[in-house]
Amino acid sequence: MCEEAPKANENEPLMAAKRLYEQCLDIRNFEISQLANRNNFLMIFQGVLFAGLVQSSGTFPVVSFMACLTGIVVSWFQTQIAAGAKYWQEHWEYELKEAEIRLLGLLPVSEERTAVKLFSKSREQIKNDVQSRLEVGTESLIIRALILKKYSVSKVPIKLGLSLMGIWTVLLLCTVNFGWCITVPDFITGFKR
């Protein structure tokens, strides 16, 4: 009986490392899902706002002005939310990598079982793995090149928020008459009926 107690204590660091790894993975996945949920909500809100602006067709200039101003503010908040979510995702991915390294250090390695690295692989190894899979597939060279650029799906909402803020700013400027300095350029004619 006395010998079993030390064995239980020997497994305790391994069990703690497993729990930590699982918790880091859960929190990281939660951050990613919440980024998508928040961004989707704000994109729908902006879409409705834009549809309202188009529908009003400048009938009430103050409404057009306020809709554009609201679009700028919402785009800025969308950018902040996406940047904040990306910050915490990066934090939890770092913690997940560290937890994996700790866990792998506690697991016994034998000829039958080698350490499987998911989050602690080098960037070069990940790129090589993806590239070799793409070469086996039937994707075109353009698609392969785009995939290998490794665009960050969690950074796109930040860029999208900034882009929409720019679009709303242009629309806002078009709702105001500054006299001689800023007007809608003549080459913008809109859609003809």
pLDDT (tens digit per residue) in 134-172: 888 767 888 888 888 888 888 999 999 999 999 999 888
Place of tokens 């698609």: 143
Alpha helices in the chain, H assignment, sequence order: 4-56, 61-106, 123-136, 141-148, 156-174
Local structure of residue 102 (DSSP, 8 states): H
* Residue-wise pLDDT tens digits, 63-79: 888 999 999 999 999 99
Q: Cβ of 36: how many Cβ atoms within 10 Å? A: 13
pLDDT band with cut points at 50, 70 and 90 for residue 80: very high
User: Residue 18: which pLDDT band, with cuts at 50, 70 and 90?
Assistant: very high
89-104: per-residue pLDDT in tens? 899 999 999 999 999 8
- Give the span between the Cα atoms of 101 and 49, in whole angstroms: 47
